């Protein structure tokens, strides 16, 4: 079987299962099996697959048909231009989260002192590593309750040569800390527990611990705003990814805490995605 035929058959199978972008996904799986670039894929459509390659492709297509996310099959995901290792023990980094990095970079501009940064719930290490690559003078503390996540995040930091800038710690964000930070950044679990069974089948393959924000989805966000505001140094900033429906709750919470320097950001779909709180 040549590449063109393999592409046609696998795209059809994925499409019948209702998988979005079946042609692109089957192309990515074929390129993964053959270790070829996009250009090579398009110029070598008549090339025959080896028997072993055909078998491996069949196995991977079957995994995808069972809704295993593509990133867990290929064990990588691109985030802020960086190729990160991922597996089923970490959340797959999302494009929306890249906005956190843009905001952090903007905050860091014109600041000459060392920036002490905390990344709460680091997962694959995506946020910390992107920051370490793009902000010069930083020392990052990245924490996660999942030991497996910490191991993947450490691997990623070594792969991108920033392990000297990040201290990965296997602890809960609910454990108190005495440290101060110029920047506290987090993409915490923020979905309501009762919505988890309704998520896309692929998302249900991701760790529940990375998604479940408790009964009202705000368990982590509330705690971070309440308890970590005091951990900001003067003129420090807190940047948190949120669910678009949480804006009003967060506004009233901040009012009760006498926090007024608060800003929300929308994503490309015009949905409120990020809250930034600054300390004077």
Q: Which positions lie near ligand SAM, rule CB under 6 A? A: 91, 93, 97, 121-124, 126-127, 143-146, 149, 172-174, 187-189, 209-210
Nearest distance from C-beta of residue 190 to ligand SAM, angstroms: 7
Nearest distance from C-beta of residue 16 to ligand SAM, angstroms: 31
Q: Which is nearer to ligand SAM, 146 or 254 (CB)?
A: 146
Other CB atoms within 10 Å distance of the CB of residue 43: 11
Q: Which is nearer to ligand SAM, 180 or 203 (CB)?
A: 203
Q: Which is nearer to ligand SAM, 146 or 157 (CB)?
A: 146
Q: Which is nearer to ligand SAM, 127 or 274 (CB)?
A: 127
CA atoms of 144 and 170, how far apart (whole Å):
5
Nearest distance from C-beta of residue 64 to ligand SAM, angstroms: 21
Burial of residue 65 (CB within 10 Å: 0-12, 13-18, 19+) is middle
Nearest distance from C-beta of residue 15 to ligand SAM, angstroms: 29
Helix 126-134 / helix 147-159 crossing angle, nearest 10 deg? 30
Q: Which is nearer to ligand SAM, 23 or 96 (CB)?
A: 96
Q: Which is nearer to ligand SAM, 122 or 163 (CB)?
A: 122
CA atoms of 91 and 69, how far apart (whole Å):
11
Nearest distance from C-beta of residue 242 to ligand SAM, angstroms: 11
Beta pairing class for 181-186 and 232-241: parallel
Nearest distance from C-beta of residue 259 to ligand SAM, angstroms: 22
SS3 sequence of 62-105 = HHHHCCCCHHHHHCEEEECCEEEECCCCCCCCCHHHHHHHHHHH
138: helix, strand or coil = strand
214: helix, strand or coil = coil
Q: Tell me the chain's radius of gyration from C-alpha atoms.
A: 21
């Amino acid at each position: 079987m040549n590449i063109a035929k393999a592409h046609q058959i696998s795209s059809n199978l994925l499409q019948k299962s209702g998988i979005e972008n079946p042609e692109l996904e089957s192309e990515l799986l074929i390129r993964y099996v053959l270790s070829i670039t996009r250009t090579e894929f398009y110029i070598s459509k008549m090339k025959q697959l080896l028997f072993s390659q055909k078998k491996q492709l069949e196995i991977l297509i079957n995994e995808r048909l069972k809704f295993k996310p593509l990133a867990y099959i290929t064990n990588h995901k691109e985030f802020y231009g960086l190729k990160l290792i991922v597996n089923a023990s970490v959340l797959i980094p999302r494009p929306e989260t890249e906005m956190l990095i843009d905001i952090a970079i903007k905050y860091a501009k014109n600041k000459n002192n060392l920036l002490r940064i905390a990344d709460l719930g680091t997962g694959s290490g995506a946020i910390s590593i992107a920051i370490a690559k793009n902000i010069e003078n930083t020392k990052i503390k990245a924490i996660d309750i999942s030991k497996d996540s910490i191991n993947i995040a450490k691997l990623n930091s070594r792969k991108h040569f920033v392990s000297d800038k990040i201290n990965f710690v296997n602890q809960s964000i609910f454990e108190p800390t005495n440290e101060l930070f110029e920047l506290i950044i987090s993409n915490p679990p923020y979905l309501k527990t009762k919505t988890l069974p309704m998520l896309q089948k692929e998302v249900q393959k991701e760790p529940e611990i990375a998604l479940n924000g408790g009964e009202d989805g705000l368990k982590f966000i509330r705690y971070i705003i309440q308890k970590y505001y005091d951990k900001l140094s003067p003129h420090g900033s807190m940047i948190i990814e949120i669910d678009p429906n949480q804006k009003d709750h967060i506004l009233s919470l901040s009012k009760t805490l006498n926090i007024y320097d608060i800003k929300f950001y929308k994503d490309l779909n015009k949905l409120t995605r990020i809250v930034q709180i600054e300390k004077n």
